[in-house]
Structure 1
């Protein structure tokens, strides 16, 4: 079987996860790498056996390389739009990390370009491949919960709690990220809500910066934080399904706690990352007794992101694979959350 020849852009810590995921599929071959950090490029280039001529200081050279079948981009937010634009201009399939872009204004010309020059695309909403979430989606779509009325959704991390004195870094730099916890963690919640329930129709929101400054390890001075590290919003989804969301980097004791509880007329389901192979299902038994069961996720819900990316590259994308429009719609909702928080009013979204 011929392997897909991959050019990898962005060789920081998360790149190692993507490398591991791709190697596990045995359908990818690494042929080129790119990073502005020469040390990272040398280290990862050596790790993957990439020849010197395929180590690009400028990502455009990698994208235009005829030996690269598809691009995987694992970079900070401020270059997402430029890399995707270059891929679209070159007709090169790609997988790009979330959030889709830094701000919504960068997403609009990308959509225009994609409509003119479509290529196979996947956006890195990795939690669509958490088995518990996939099973929850299956249950919702089966009607076994009856009419779904509302849900609660949270993504909590203790990464930034004050006493740990986490230093200033690019994730706290508004010029690089656009938003803070909202774009980093909240984009995953937004995508999961769309994956489970459909489109956002209206929302209200509140963004907050809990830790107002952090020490810059380069200068030693305290740097002002201009992005949120807590975000909450509530939304009306397709079919008048109501959702309540919160995300924080200051949730003491939380490692990577992404979870949703779904309330239907005939039952409740809870799914999350802390136990990705099980869901909690509450339903009524004969005689009116409530039963709370820990249910194992079936094997068919255990699908990997890079197996799906291979299907995208073959032209046979699976149902639920996060494509270009999922990234665009996600950025549209992120923008609405920011506007709702700034205006302290409800924002209506277009639901196609």
Structure 2
């Protein structure tokens, strides 16, 4: 299986390392417009063919699949070109910047019959996968209520550097620079995380987005700090459950934590995961009467990279698919639309008697 890496940033390095570790996978080529970065990336992973554009790589064509690790707004045009060429695509999240673009990508991939998957990295959590299996098996009865949160704190701490002075963080706070705030950045993860764990789709949502003042004039250099920093939504699932989903960059004491509590008619689950650690607890059976929680043993699970490789080799599409990612984007679009409608209503002149 010959893989093209499209992009050369830190996540592209993660993709390259992950695919290199898989038996029978060759990093055949990479695309990076910047000549210096292209040379460094190619040397780092000993990639034999390097291109300045995707068009050049497609004209060469000697690869089976592409890891698309471009900026969010570039996912759609580059992926559509790859699909038109009949290439399998493993795309970074979010699949696209809007639902119409995302569903177009999903339908194009399905029409071409190529493998299409999205890198929702927290699907790699054994706690999440085990929680999903327990819910599906009826271990906690029918799900009634839940609360889920993606907690980051880099706006109040310097564990990842000083956001006030580093472009890699400042762009995430500026719509002009391509950001859709915490909702667009990590909201996609927690929406997928929560609904996948409960084995049910979101059918309704009401949301609130908030942008906080972070600098004089809400601007640092060329960066206007205008995107959302916190989001809270009330969500209803197809199985009837009701709960909350939130994401923030102001969760002091939490570097990068996803937490989910699921409450059912016959038990409850507590899911905790970060990029490297995870845990799962259950309260069920006789333990319900004493509110006793038991740790659930966890086994390693296949990563999204491994599932993509297996899908390409088998010819059967893996999960999460483009269509799943498009559905998540539909939920995010609803949240943005509700926020815009609320702002327009607040700005409208008051009616007079």
For the aligned pair, the TM-score class normalised by the smaller chain equals 0.7 to 0.9
Equivalent residue for 1:350?
Answer: none
3-state SS, counterpart of residue 144 of structure 2:
strand
Distance in 1 (alpha carbons) for counterparts of 2:10 and 2:24:
22
Equivalent residue for 1:195?
Answer: 196
Contact 1:88 1:113 in 2 (8 A): yes
Contact 2:232 2:245 in 1 (8 A): yes
Deviation at 1:136, TM superposition (A): 0.4
Deviation at 1:312, TM superposition (A): 1.5
Structure 1's unaligned 5+ residue stretches are 346-352
3-state SS, counterpart of residue 50 of structure 1:
coil
Equivalent residue for 2:95?
Answer: 100
Q: Give deviations 1:41-89, integer Å, cap 9, x for gaps.
A: 11110112223xx211112322443211100011211101111111111
Deviation at 1:185, TM superposition (A): 0.6
Q: 1:26 to 1:119 in 2, by over 3 A?
A: same
Equivalent residue for 2:309?
Answer: 310
Distance in 1 (alpha carbons) for counterparts of 2:106 and 2:302:
28
Contact 1:81 1:106 in 2 (8 A): yes
Residue 16 (structure 1) aligned to one of 13, 16, 29: 13
Distance in 2 (alpha carbons) for counterparts of 1:318 and 1:115:
10
Return the TM-score normalized by structure 1. Answer: 0.87
Equivalent residue for 1:231?
Answer: 231
Equivalent residue for 1:143?
Answer: 138
Structure 2's unaligned 5+ residue stretches are 344-353
Distance in 2 (alpha carbons) for counterparts of 1:252 and 1:96:
31
Q: 1:277 to 1:253 in 2, by over 3 A?
A: closer
Distance in 2 (alpha carbons) for counterparts of 1:105 and 1:44:
33
Equivalent residue for 1:42?
Answer: 39
3-state SS, counterpart of residue 3 of structure 2:
strand
Deviation at 1:316, TM superposition (A): 4.8
Q: Does 1:32 align with 2:34?
A: no
Aligned length in residues: 335
Equivalent residue for 2:347?
Answer: none
Q: 1:85 to 1:233 in 2, by over 3 A?
A: same
Q: Does 1:184 align with 2:182?
A: no
Distance in 1 (alpha carbons) for counterparts of 2:127 and 2:172:
28
**Pairwise CA RMSD:** 2.6
Deviation at 1:156, TM superposition (A): 0.9
Deviation at 1:277, TM superposition (A): 4.6
Equivalent residue for 2:80?
Answer: 85
Equivalent residue for 1:292?
Answer: 293
3-state SS, counterpart of residue 314 of structure 1:
helix
Deviation at 1:39, TM superposition (A): 2.1
Distance in 2 (alpha carbons) for counterparts of 1:19 and 1:114:
23
Deviation at 1:123, TM superposition (A): 0.7
Contact 1:267 1:281 in 2 (8 A): yes
Equivalent residue for 2:244?
Answer: 244
Equivalent residue for 1:336?
Answer: 334
Return the TM-score normalized by structure 2. Answer: 0.86
Deviation at 1:290, TM superposition (A): 3.3
Deviation at 1:126, TM superposition (A): 1.3
